[in-house]
C-alpha cells in the first residue's frame, strides 16, 4: 500500500481528518527549508505538500509567488527539491510527500527521469497545477509506472459532466480547490464546501482534501468536519516570511514560528474532526 493510502486509512481508523501543509522547497534557503520539512510531522502535519519552485506560478497568490522567488534566489531547483525529500526520508518513512508545482520544470527535467528520480527520493504523489486531464497523459503514464500518484484538482467551476472526466484519471486523493481564485486570497464558506464535497463523493471513493483559502485553526476545524483533509499553504508561507530579517535571510525564530503555527492548525484538526 502507498504511503498516501496508508495514511488516509490510519486517519480514518482514528476518526479524524488529516492536516496537509504546504511549503516551497528551498524557501528561504535550503538549510532552513530542510529544517522546516523535517519538523513538520512532529508538529502535526499528516501529509506534506512540497512546492517545486517556478518563476511563473500562475495559479498562486502573492505569498506563494514570493516564496517561489525566494527559493529560486537561494539556488533551489528541481535537483535540490528531490534531494530535500531524500534527506527527509532518512528520518521519516511514513509521512506522505506530494510535490506540487507547474509542468515546465518537470518537462525540462525530462518527464520519465523526473518520475523515476522522484520515486527514488521517496516522493509519493504529484500535483501539477497547469496539467488538466486533456494534457495529463504525458505525466500519468511515467508516474504510474513508478508508483507515483497523480493527484487531480477540481474546482467550483468544474461542472458535473467534466467532473467525471477529471476524476477518471485520479489517484491518491482528490484536491478540491475551494475558491475560484488563486492561492491565499478569499475563503469559501462551510456550506459551499460541504456541498462540493458531497458532490465529489458521488463520483469518487478517493479521500477528498480541501484547500485554497484556509488560513486559521477554526477554518481548518470546520473543513475537518466535512472532508478527509484540510490543506494550508499561504498562511504557513506568510508565517515563514514574517520570520525573515531585514536582509531577507532566515531570522532566529523562523523555523519555530512556522512549526508553532502548524501545531495550532493540527489542534484545530483534532477539535474539528468527526468520524
Partner 1 sequence: MQKANSLRGGPDANGHFGIFGGRYVAETLMPPILAVERAYAEAKADPAFATELALYLESYVGRPSPLTFAGRLTDRCGGARIYLKREDLNHTGAHKVNNCIGQALLARRMGKRRIIAETGAGQHGVATATVCALFGLDCVIFMGATDIARQAPNVARMKLLGAEVRPVTAGAATLKDAMNDAMRDWVAHVEDTYYMIGTVAGPHPYPMMVRDFQTVIGDEARRQILAAEGRLPDSLVACIGGGSNAIGLFHPFLDDPSVRIIGVEAAGHGLASGRHAASLKGGRPGVLHGNRTYLLQNADGQIDEAHSISAGLDYPGIGPEHAWLHDIGRIDYVSATDDEALAAFMLTARLEGIIPALESAHALAWATGAAAGLGKDHVMVISLSGRGDKDLATVMDALGDGAPS
The residues of the shown chain that bind partner 1, judged by CB under 8 A, are 53-59, 61-62, 65, 69, 72, 77-79, 102-109, 129-132, 134-135, 152-159, 162, 166, 177, 179-182, 185-186
Which residue's CB is nearer to partner 1, number 39 or number 156? 156
Min dist. Cβ of residue 61 to partner 1 (A): 7
Question: Whole-angstrom Cα distance, residue 237 to residue 220?
Answer: 16
Considering Cα of 69, then 70, then 76, then 82, what sign does the dihedral take?
negative
The grid coordinates of residue 141 equal 503514464
User: What's the closest the beta carbon of residue 62 comes to partner 1, in angstroms?
Assistant: 8
Catalytic residue among 60, 117, 228, 238: 60
Q: Is 60 a catalytic residue?
A: yes
The secondary structure of residue 172, as a DSSP letter, is S
> Looking at 49, 124, 228, 238, which residue is catalytic?
49
Which residue number, 129 or 269, has a Cβ lying nearer to partner 1?
129
CB of 44 to partner 1, least distance (A): 28
CB nearer to partner 1: give 86 or 155.
155
String of b and e for 182-208 (b: at least 16 CB within 10 Å)? bbbeebbeeeebeebbeebeebbebbb
Q: Which of 207, 155, 245 is nearest to 8 (CA)?
A: 207
- How, if at all, do strands 18-24 and 208-211 pair? unpaired
What is the smallest separation between the CB atom of 231 and partner 1, expressed in angstroms? 15
Quick one: DSSP state of residue 231? E
* DSSP letter assigned to residue 133: G
83 in catalytic set: no
- Which is closer to partner 1, CB of 181 or CB of 257? 181
Residue nearer to partner 1 on the CB measure, 45 or 174 = 174
* Contact between residue 147 and residue 126 where contact means Cβ atoms under 8 Å apart: no
Give the nearest distance from C-beta 152 to partner 1 in angstroms. Answer: 8
Q: CB-hemisphere CA count at 13 Å for 142?
A: 16
Grid coordinates belonging to 3 = 504511503
Identify whether the C-beta of residue 100 lies closer than 8 Å to the C-beta of residue 52.
yes
Residues noted as catalytic: 49, 60
Amino acid at each position: 500500500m502507498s504511503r498516501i493510502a496508508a495514511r488516509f486509512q490510519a486517519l480514518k481508523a482514528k476518526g479524524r481528518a488529516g492536516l496537509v501543509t504546504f511549503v516551497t522547497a528551498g524557501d528561504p534557503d535550503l538549510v532552513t527549508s530542510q529544517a522546516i520539512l523535517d519538523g513538520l510531522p512532529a508538529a502535526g502535519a499528516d501529509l506534506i505538500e512540497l512546492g517545486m519552485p517556478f518563476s511563473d506560478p500562475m495559479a498562486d497568490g502573492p505569498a506563494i509567488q514570493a516564496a517561489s522567488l525566494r527559493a529560486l534566489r537561494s539556488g533551489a531547483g528541481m535537483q535540490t527539491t528531490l534531494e530535500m525529500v531524500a534527506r527527509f526520508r532518512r528520518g521519516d518513512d511514513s509521512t506522505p510527500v506530494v510535490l506540487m508545482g507547474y509542468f515546465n520544470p518537470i518537462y525540462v527535467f525530462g518527464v520519465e527521469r523526473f518520475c523515476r528520480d522522484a520515486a527514488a527520493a521517496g516522493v509519493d504523489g504529484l500535483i501539477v497545477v497547469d496539467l488538466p486531464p486533456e494534457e495529463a497523459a504525458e505525466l500519468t503514464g511515467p508516474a504510474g509506472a513508478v508508483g507515483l500518484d497523480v493527484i487531480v484538482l477540481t474546482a467550483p467551476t468544474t461542472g458535473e459532466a467534466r467532473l467525471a472526466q477529471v476524476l477518471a484519471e485520479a489517484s491518491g486523493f482528490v484536491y478540491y480547490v475551494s475558491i475560484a481564485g488563486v492561492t491565499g486570497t478569499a475563503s469559501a464558506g462551510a456550506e459551499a464546501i460541504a456541498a462540493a464535497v458531497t458532490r465529489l463523493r458521488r463520483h469518487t471513493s478517493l479521500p477528498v482534501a480541501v484547500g485554497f483559502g484556509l488560513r486559521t485553526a477554526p477554518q481548518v476545524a470546520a473543513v475537518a468536519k466535512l472532508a478527509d483533509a484540510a490543506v494550508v499553504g499561504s498562511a504557513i508561507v506568510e508565517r515563514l516570511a514574517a520570520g525573515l530579517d531585514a536582509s531577507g535571510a532566515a531570522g532566529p525564530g523562523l523555523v519555530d514560528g512556522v512549526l508553532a503555527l502548524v501545531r495550532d492548525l493540527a489542534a484545530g484538526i483534532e477539535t474539528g474532526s468527526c468520524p
